[in-house]
């Protein structure tokens, strides 16, 4: 059985791993077998926006493009927040048009995220990657329909054990993001925290993957 890596910035071409590689439009790599594409709030550049939009709209029609993102909102950067909101709202429109899930980068902006969700009421799945916050926030987000993806912070912060353990099994994914740790290592920690075997976690994530992405790339 394969492992699924919900979010990574570097494909490894490991035979038993399905990787959703994050792509930026200005450095798009057509050789990747499975990717997401979007404009990260850190890298919003109005001078480049028209070309970024052109590339994203082109790639959204490709079967290898499984999701939009990472995109989202970050209140700890200098990019104007109103500009971030406009770009994020454009991703929501694309997601609905193409029926693609969204991989989200959210920093200090969960209240704003919930406001946008209420405003637009998107029908596509939305996955918050790199989740590292509290159990009450995790519960609130799950109740609002979000999926949560755990990775490097699960390895680094023992306090996340209780948070991760409390997340319903049909609402989580695992990832490596920018860490050098393998996805297998993340699965091992997740299995220990859930008090399950790695195989059980693989089966659960296969189920979650099929629900969210409506494809059978994990077998």
Q: Which residues are annotated as a binding site for a divalent metal cation?
A: 70, 105, 129, 177
The span from the CA of 21 to the CA of 214, in Å, is 18
**Closest-CA residue to 201 (of 158, 169, 175):** 169
Who's near 96: CB < 8 A, 6+ residues apart? 122, 123, 124
CB 53 within 8 A of CB 87: no
Q: How many CB atoms lie within 10 A of CB 117?
A: 16
Annotated binding site: 70, 105, 129, 177
Q: How many CB atoms lie within 10 A of CB 52?
A: 21
Give one DSSP letter per residue of 85-100, joined into a string.
HHHHHHHHHHHHHHT-
């Amino acid at each position: 059985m394969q492992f699924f890596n919900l979010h990574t910035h570097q494909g490894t071409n490991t035979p038993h791993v399905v990787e959703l590689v994050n792509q930026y439009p200005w450095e798009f790599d057509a050789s990747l077998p499975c990717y997401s594409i979007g404009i990260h709030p850190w890298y919003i550049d109005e001078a480049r926006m028209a070309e970024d939009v052109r590339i994203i709209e082109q790639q959204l029609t490709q079967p290898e493009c499984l999701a939009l993102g990472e995109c989202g909102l970050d209140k700890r950067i200098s990019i104007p927040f109103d500009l971030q909101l406009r770009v994020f709202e454009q991703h929501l429109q694309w997601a609905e048009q193409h029926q693609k899930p969204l991989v989200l980068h959210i920093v200090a902006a969960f209240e704003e995220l919930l406001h946008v969700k209420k405003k637009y009421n998107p029908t596509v799945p939305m996955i918050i990657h790199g989740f590292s916050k509290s159990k009450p926030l995790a519960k609130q987000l799950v109740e609002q329909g979000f999926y949560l993806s755990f990775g490097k912070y699960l390895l680094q912060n023992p306090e996340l054990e209780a948070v991760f353990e409390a997340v319903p099994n049909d609402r989580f994914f695992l990832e490596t993001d920018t860490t050098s740790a393998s996805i297998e290592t993340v699965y091992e920690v997740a299995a220990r925290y859930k008090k399950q075997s790695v195989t059980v976690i693989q089966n659960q994530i296969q189920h979650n993957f099929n629900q969210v992405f409506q494809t059978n790339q994990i077998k």
